[in-house]
Structure 1
């Protein structure tokens, strides 16, 4: 299996010499095999690996067992280990998400936190060939387009999936042969979620009655669709760039295109404004197309998440509704303030330099004597910028939000600690490398954010 994974890594150019890779490690068979394979390949590939485990605090003693197994496994193989305990159900309630969505946010936030802490550049996840087949079927059942039924990509941005080429049976056999003894999540055997129903009921039926090689067939099909999706995406991006005039497109030129390109261009326009396509469905794309076809100046269509599509003198654009409320509080030092808009309490105090200065997601430290001007708690403003930790130079806050894939309609709801237009801390996103503690620091400003 190691040779198979190595070939897949090379074919998809997943890893380069010197990479530092954060590995998602639940302790189950897939992630255990992935971590073990990468550990055995680390000298040949000249890489460093770091295991990250997230306890979602949902499965009680079983989750604690998984965390302890993961810790001991990494100690056994001398792999750097980071674990997080996150109350996902509480997080889901606070953020208005499903438990699955909140769990995903918690995992990626934790991966990103460790990635920045250790200076890593990639995240390895343990999806396998069966996961790919199940995803394709689920997307098909939900009426997805070409992109959806292209399934899981081996490489997306800085995320890699080295064992996507391996079946679940191969992975379980590898774990047995290498005496890895992974833990088993009992909820995987419960046909509650759609994926579990596909895995436990639909796939066995298809294998027994229709196509015993359904896993490989769907894997090959996803590869073909992904190649064709890539070509179509490139074509549509080129057309979008050709038509785009400061966010507007000329309707006459647009109407001459094939319908497949038209749909994709509308999606690009939405993504350009919103940052992603969450909550956008085919019906919304069709509403935009119908509006463009009528080409009546002053007409518009309301889209999800505060977006609007509008026509003006033979041109069409997507914009966000202009109903922004500015939020701003002056932070007294020492002192505390409560923001009903952000639903947070911010506590500021001056502490001694010799105290234990451990930063967390909720606590940041600054050299107080380097700060000139009032410190504000507010939402974003035009011209905001930050000198982000782990990055070179100055960056527009807008560009940071784009890089972090923060939805356009969520950006005004992110609490910011700022001096004029300089951002010291974009909560849960990034903080500044300016005003850092050094040997000359005399007074330390501690800022703590509490939810609720």
Structure 2
């Protein structure tokens, strides 16, 4: 049985139970700055700990940003917990130095270091949950900030009630309700002087924008809470469709193009965000979607952290940048090694050659048909050749596509040139203009696999 409780406590219990925040046993680590929100959370959890059966611990992080005021906050929290026999863990870091060293803003640096401390402490003491004191007011500010940034649905859902171990039981509790509770219970707290300054965008929203919205609509807080619940429900549904798709179709680091390309953008975007969880922009998402819907069977798009390559009817995530054969000159009576392709090329001059036997890896060129120097490399875009026996001119791109070569297969095929253009393609044959006759002086090119010597 729950003990008699005020309206705020009832709301916190209902909200916590909806998202399974409070465990039946184990340890809950409460992040406490000493401010009004975190002191309310600490007392609410202290009230609920015996009801749910969990042990309550406290964690305080000193950002070293406010000198003596930071020391005051730490001492306040330590003393408050000591008097109530609440285990208290304290950490600190030079946020300013970390921000400078890593090119971050103060707010972002503080958040990274604070959460790193909370996660580390939770792991060390075996805490099942980390409770933070984000409120409905914080959620309103977050929604407006994300709206200003042009965020999608996920950003407009505001602060998530649960993220891994992290829980936010006060997310539907307003600042006014918190102050009323603290006054009623005579619970002390400290004030962070930086919260009164309008140097930060969030503070300006808190002091100017949100109060004006409440003036325009007295039901702003309740309406916002309801709006966020509706948006979160939509987001959870769309995300579940994306998760089902990934579970069914994402295998060996790739997706089938046919199934992916017909997904509505809201689903395909979430599929990509699940596979590449590093903050894809709309530009990156559109690049991968275009890759899937385009006619090019071998192409790629570089997105944060990896390359996505199309290989016929699959999208391959984490594809390596393909190697290519460097340009090397071919001279008679020399052997040229192509380590990228695992091949070696022998080049010979034969005068008045009586026997000509072209194959896919042995080429005989009429010496007089060669213009200038000969060299070998990977193909370049737009190159064409009229091969012996083909009776037509084709681009190398089309030639390789018809042979259904994948990306690596195309880039590592040796193409032989003179100063007029392509004269042979390994595995396909020689250019018609270089075809010799018996008795001609010829250049013979032989390609061998160096691994089979």
Q: TM-score, normalised by structure 2?
A: 0.66
Q: 1-side partners of 2:99 and 2:59: how far apart?
A: 21
Cα distance between partner residues in 1 of 2:316 and 2:64:
44
Aligned positions of 1:313-352 closer than 5 A: 313-319=312-318
- Deviation for aligned residue 1:259: 2.3
Q: Secondary structure at the residue paired with 1:181?
A: coil
In structure 2, the partner of 1:294 is: 294
Partner of 2:128: 121
Partner of 1:263 in structure 2? Answer: 269
Q: Once the 2 structures are TM-superposed, how far is the Cα of residue 11 of structure 1 from its aligned partner?
A: 2.9
Return the alpha-carbon distance in structure 1 between the equivalents of residues 47 and 249 of structure 2.
Answer: 50
Q: Determine which of 186, 191, 202 is the counterpart of 1:184.
A: 191
Aligned ranges 1:106-185 → 2 under 5 Å: 106-185=113-192
Residue 243 of structure 1 and its aligned partner are, at CA, apart by 2.4
Are 1:40 and 2:40 matched, yes or no? Answer: no
Structure 1 residue 2: deviation in Å? 2.5
How many residue pairs end up in the alignment?
315
- The answer on whether the counterparts of 2:12 and 2:170 sit within 8 Å (CA) in structure 1 is yes
Q: Can you list the C-alpha shifts for 1:90-132, whole angstroms capped at 9, x where unaligned? A: 1223333322222122112211222122221110010111111
- Give the aligned partner of residue 410 of structure 2: none
What secondary structure, in the 3-state scheme, does the structure 2 residue paired with 1:245 have? Answer: coil
Q: Which residue of 2 aligns with 1:76?
A: 83
Deviation at 1:309, TM superposition (A): 1.9
Unaligned stretches of 5+ residues in structure 1 = 272-276, 324-452
**1:399 maps to which residue?**
none
State the Cα distance separating 1:322 from its structure 2 match: 6.5
Change in 2 beyond 3 A, CA 1:174/1:227: same
Q: Which segment is superposed worse, 19-28 or 98-107?
A: 98-107
Aligned with 2:29 (options 22, 30, 47)? 22
Mapped partners of 2:44, 2:320: distance in 1 = 49
Aligned to 2:243: 237
Residue aligning to 1:220: 226
Q: What is the distance in 2 between the residues matched to 1:78 and 1:19?
A: 17
SS in 2 for 1:170: helix
CA contact (8 A) 1:295 1:311 kept: no
Counterpart CA distance in 1 for 2:26 and 2:142 is: 29
CA contact (8 A) 2:61 2:92 kept: yes
Q: CA separation of 1:322/1:29 partners in 2, compared to 1, >3 Å: closer, same or farther?
A: farther
The corresponding residue for 2:353 is: none
Separation in structure 2 between the aligned mates of residue 171 and residue 138 of structure 1, nearest angstrom: 23
Distance 1:58 1:284 in 2: 37
Task: Kindly indicate whether the alpha-carbon contact (under 8 Å) linking 1:300 and 1:308 is maintained by their aligned counterparts in 2.
Answer: yes
* Secondary structure, aligned partner of 2:60: strand
Q: Which structure has the larger Rg over C-alpha atoms?
A: 2
Q: Normalised by the size of structure 1, how large is the TM-score?
A: 0.67
2:341 alignment counterpart: none
Q: 1:270-328 CA distances to partner (integer Å, 9 max, x unpaired)? A: 12xxxxx23x2111111211222214233222223x422211112212216569xxxxx
CA deviation digits over 1:111-154, x for unaligned, max 9? Answer: 12221222211100101111112111211221111111111222
Match of 2:418 in 1: none
Distance 1:182 1:241 in 2: 48
* Conserved 8 A contact 2:261-2:289: no
Deviation at 1:57, TM superposition (A): 0.4
CA–CA separation in structure 2 for the residues paired with 1:7 and 1:137: 26
SS in 2 for 1:299: strand
1:9 pairs with 2:16: yes
Aligned equivalent of 1:100: 107
User: Conserved in 2, the CA contact under 8 Å of 1:295 and 1:314?
Assistant: no
